[in-house]
Structure 1
Amino acid sequence: MTTPPPQPAPQAYAPQSAPNWQGAPGTSYTSPIPVTRTHLGHALASEWTKIKSVRSTVWTLGIFLFLVLGGGLLVSAQTEDLNYRDLPFTFPAFIGLLLGQICLITLGVLVTSSEYGTGMIRTTFTASPQRYRVFAAKILVFFTVSFIVSAGSILLVGLLTASMHSGPGVGDLSWGGTVFKGALYVSLLGVLGLAVGSMLRHSAGAITAMLGLVLLPSILPVFLVISRSTQKLGEKMQEYNAINSLAKIFGADGGSSGGSQVWLLVGVTAAAVAGAFVLLERRDV
């Protein structure tokens, strides 16, 4: 009987050493992908892509244009030439803006609160850790879009009204200022909604808060003027609420041009934006 040849003794397993990715001493890794320093322009491009690609922008701005243009032309068709001796040609746009301002407020809230609702804000801040830069880009993009759309719609209503009504003494009032101040006022309301949406981080809550901020000053004066102690507060609230402010801007009040109302809204919006910046840096996402 033949015996099998002896087998070699098993050798201990020795793992291979990991490759040295550090390279030779004194050398460093250079990425083939060009790396550029980010700036505000990149954030603006990102926010512009967001606001133009979501359906809420198309719907809200579409309804806004329908209300301002449709309401303005309807009012213009029901008025006569003599009505524009004391009113600018842009006055019919005021009727549409009474409801159209709610569209811009809603869009302003959704620009920031919708990202918190879906959780996409984490992705945004991961791609751009400078939160203040992202928020500033949101404000600039939204304000530019809302101002251009609102100013264009008011101007178009004024031009169409001017073509429909003419006569001696008609159109003597300068109505270019109403285009600027009217568009600025409703755009600032939208920015205020954007700031409130950033602070509350909830779409329904922020929209409800903004509707209360716009509508309550128009309702409360009825009750405040009953008492002497609150009569002055009611009168001021009635003078500076959103509805009467727009009426003054478009000359419905007769004496005022709405300048003080616009400046008050500038101050309130600036304070809200400053508060939103502070909370953005202090709170986690």
Structure 2
Amino acid sequence: MSTPQPPLPQAAPAWQAAPAPGSDLPAYTSPIPIVRTTFLHAVSSEWTKIKSLRSTVWTLGVFVLLVVGIGLATGALVANSSASLHDDSPLPLGFFGLLLGSMCIITLGVLTTASEYGTGMIRTTMTVCPSRGRVLAAKAAVFFLIAFVITLVTTAFVAFVQVAMVKDSGAGDPTGEQWLKATVGVSLYIALLGLLSLAIGSIVRHSAGAIATMIGAVLAPLVIALFMMAESLERVRNALFEYSIPSQLSVFYANSLTDSGPSGWDPLWIILGVTAAAIVGAWLLLEQRDV
């Protein structure tokens, strides 16, 4: 008859340290339990980082100041002038402030990723969360939500105030679709533009270089098109005008800079496709590169 074997000792939990051999001291148990990290933990970490940075407060503060300040100044100028809007919607008056304010969202998007490479914080981030795709997704989710909400609140406020300011200047009442495009539509576009900047920041890994790249992408097509005077370059010139970011942004205000090119909600699908491609490229490079 076989002798029953004694039960094997169970391994101590990861947070419990066994005493040294021959020691009479009890085993140490940490009060902090070890849990399996999830995507929500990464989101919480990125939210803590982005709200703690002074660059977030400055860029978003300047963004609100530009959009509200220029928007209300434009509305006041039209309201106090003798010109009539001829039943046109007053919502396009917010275009100029939002175009300048988009530079702030671009800057914040780049800093969300590229600044960690400049400070070396990216090493700590990747040590805590080795899943690089999860880190990039968490940064993108937190940034997109912040950019969308701030832009939506700011543009909606400016739109309502402008409509009230110019109601005696012959302006027409905006339709539901015009309201939707001038608030939700432009907010999605600006948030995606910032998300594209975030991806470029991860690819370039240098704040100044990535910001210069994005500002060039916004302004260069229009500047280049202005110098294409040759008739043989007319098609290229028109394409640069039609698909430039300022022209696509103006489509949401039913005030396109050109008579052809994207219309309706087309600019949103274009920026969505470009941003998705950039995010995928940033993720592939992030997986291959050394931190």
TM-score bucket (shorter structure)? 0.7 to 0.9
Report the CA distance between 1:257 and its aligned residue. 4.6
Q: Distance in 1 between matches of 2:86 and 2:9?
A: 81
Unpaired runs of 5+ residues, structure 2, are 1-6, 16-28
Q: Which residue number corresponds to residue 56 of structure 1?
A: 55
Report the CA distance between 1:162 and its aligned residue. 2.0
Q: Is residue 230 of structure 2 the alignment partner of residue 231 of structure 1?
A: no
Q: Is residue 170 of structure 2 the alignment partner of residue 173 of structure 1?
A: no
Report the CA distance between 1:224 and its aligned residue. 3.3
Q: Which residue number corresponds to residue 35 of structure 2?
A: 36
Q: Which residue of 221, 236, 248 maps to 1:245?
A: 248
Q: Is residue 190 of structure 2 the alignment partner of residue 186 of structure 1?
A: yes
Amino acid in structure 2 at the alignment position of 1:261: P
Q: Is residue 67 of structure 2 the alignment partner of residue 68 of structure 1?
A: yes
Q: Is residue 92 of structure 2 the alignment partner of residue 86 of structure 1?
A: no
Q: Distance in 2 between matches of 1:257 and 1:152?
A: 24
Which deviates the most, 61-70 or 89-98?
A: 89-98
Q: Which residue number corresponds to residue 261 of structure 1?
A: 267
Q: In 1, are the aligned partners of 2:91 and 2:174 still within 8 Å (CA)?
A: no
Report the CA distance between 1:242 and its aligned residue. 1.3
Amino acid in structure 2 at the alignment position of 1:43: A
Residues 12-161 of structure 1 aligned to structure 2 (within 5 Å) = 26-30=9-13, 31=15, 32=29, 33-80=32-79, 82-83=84-85, 85-87=87-89, 89-161=90-162
Report the CA distance between 1:185 and its aligned residue. 1.4
Q: Distance in 2 between matches of 1:25 and 1:39?
A: 33
Q: Is residue 290 of structure 2 the alignment partner of residue 284 of structure 1?
A: yes
Q: Distance in 1 between matches of 2:101 and 2:286?
A: 29
Q: Distance in 1 between matches of 2:199 and 2:190?
A: 14
Unpaired runs of 5+ residues, structure 1, are 1-23
Q: In 1, are the aligned partners of 2:200 and 2:210 still within 8 Å (CA)?
A: yes
Q: Is residue 201 of structure 2 the alignment partner of residue 197 of structure 1?
A: yes
Closer, same or farther in 2 for the Cα pair 1:253/1:84, shift >3 Å? farther
1:167-194: CA deviation from partner (whole Å, max 9, x where unpaired): 5772143322221111111111111111
Q: Distance in 2 between matches of 1:68 and 1:49?
A: 26
Q: Distance in 1 between matches of 2:248 and 2:108?
A: 21
Amino acid in structure 2 at the alignment position of 1:278: L
The higher radius of gyration belongs to 1
User: Matched residue pairs, number?
Assistant: 260
Runs of 4+ off more than 4 Å: 254-258
Q: In 2, are the aligned partners of 1:72 and 1:92 still within 8 Å (CA)?
A: yes
